[in-house]
């Protein structure tokens, strides 16, 4: 009987240990992430040489565009500035004035830049479509020279640099 009690006690011990070995505890692991506001693309653009003919009775324009991809469903402000337009302005389709084509020794030729493409005409904003294939947005720029500003222009090549900035 004593042997039976020892075996019974040993079995109870094994069962008790096995039961505690099978016990479990669950822990919650919280996972979080933050999607950054980001745009990619918008390489250097060049408006092809605008032919300015002072004898014409109409304004002349030059255009170019580039694509950009931005974080989905976020509004990004597009601004424009230059050496003359030192305070960045919202890039709108009505145009931003104050830009100057320059040639050494000659009077400057004023011009206006206007937005086109996917830039909102009144706010100058673009809303991101994401960064996947097919999500690109078009940022277009139009440089417009009034005939009255070109009428007394000197002959020769004029240049300027416009800065487009996407504000996150």
Task: Determine the distance from the C-alpha atom of residue 156 to the mean position of all C-alpha atoms in its chain, rounded to a whole number.
Answer: 36
**Which pLDDT belongs to residue 168?**
85
- In this structure, what are the phi and psi dihedrals at residue 111, rounded to the nearest 5 degrees? -150, 165
Rounded Cα distance between 119 and 116, Å, is 6
In this model, does residue 11 exceed pLDDT 70?
no
Full domain range(s) for residue 91: 39-167
For residue 152, what pLDDT band results from cuts at 50, 70 and 90? very high
Considering the domain boundaries, does residue 22 fall inside one?
Answer: no
Q: What is the CATH number of the domain that holds 72?
A: 2.60.40
Considering the domain boundaries, does residue 67 fall inside one?
Answer: yes
Q: Is 155 exposed, middle or buried (0-12, 13-18, 19+ CB in 10 A)?
A: exposed
Considering the domain boundaries, does residue 150 fall inside one?
Answer: yes
Considering the domain boundaries, does residue 7 fall inside one?
Answer: no
In this model, does residue 17 exceed pLDDT 70?
no
- Per residue in 19-71, pLDDT (tens digit) is 555 788 999 999 999 999 999 988 888 998 899 999 999 999 999 999 999 99
| Residue 104 CA: distances (Å) to CA of 101, 108, 163, 164 | 10, 9, 21, 25
Rounded Cα distance between 140 and 118, Å, is 8
**Which pLDDT belongs to residue 21?**
59
Task: Read off the tokens for 112.
Answer: 């206006």
**Which pLDDT belongs to residue 60?**
95
- Per residue in 104-114, pLDDT (tens digit) is 999 999 999 99
The count of C-alpha atoms lying within 13 angstroms of the C-alpha of 113, restricted to the half-sphere facing its C-beta, is 28
Please provide the average confidence, as pLDDT, over all residues in the chain: 89
Rounded Cα distance between 96 and 93, Å, is 8
If you average pLDDT over residues 127-132, what whole number do you get?
Answer: 94
Considering the domain boundaries, does residue 105 fall inside one?
Answer: yes
Tally of domains within the chain:
1
More confident residue, 12 or 146: 146
**Which pLDDT belongs to residue 8?**
56
Considering the domain boundaries, does residue 96 fall inside one?
Answer: yes
- Per residue in 86-98, pLDDT (tens digit) is 999 999 999 999 9
- Per residue in 67-76, pLDDT (tens digit) is 999 999 999 9
Considering the domain boundaries, does residue 153 fall inside one?
Answer: yes
Considering the domain boundaries, does residue 24 fall inside one?
Answer: no
């Amino acid at each position: 009987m004593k042997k039976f009690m020892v075996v019974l006690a040993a079995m109870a011990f094994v069962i008790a240990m096995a039961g505690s070995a099978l016990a479990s505890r669950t822990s919650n692991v919280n996972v979080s992430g933050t999607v950054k506001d980001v745009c990619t693309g918008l390489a250097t653009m060049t408006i092809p040489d605008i032919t300015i003919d002072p004898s014409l009775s109409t304004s002349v324009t030059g255009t170019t565009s580039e694509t950009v991809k931005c974080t989905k469903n976020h509004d990004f402000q597009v601004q424009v500035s230059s050496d003359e337009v030192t305070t960045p302005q919202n890039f709108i389709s009505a145009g931003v004035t104050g830009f100057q084509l320059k040639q050494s020794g000659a009077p400057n030729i004023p011009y206006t830049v206007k937005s086109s493409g996917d830039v909102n005409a009144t706010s100058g904003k673009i809303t991101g479509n994401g960064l996947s294939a097919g999500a690109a947005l078009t940022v277009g720029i139009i440089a417009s020279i009034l005939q009255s500003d070109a009428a007394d222009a000197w002959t020769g090549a004029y240049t300027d640099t416009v800065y487009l900035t996407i504000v996150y």
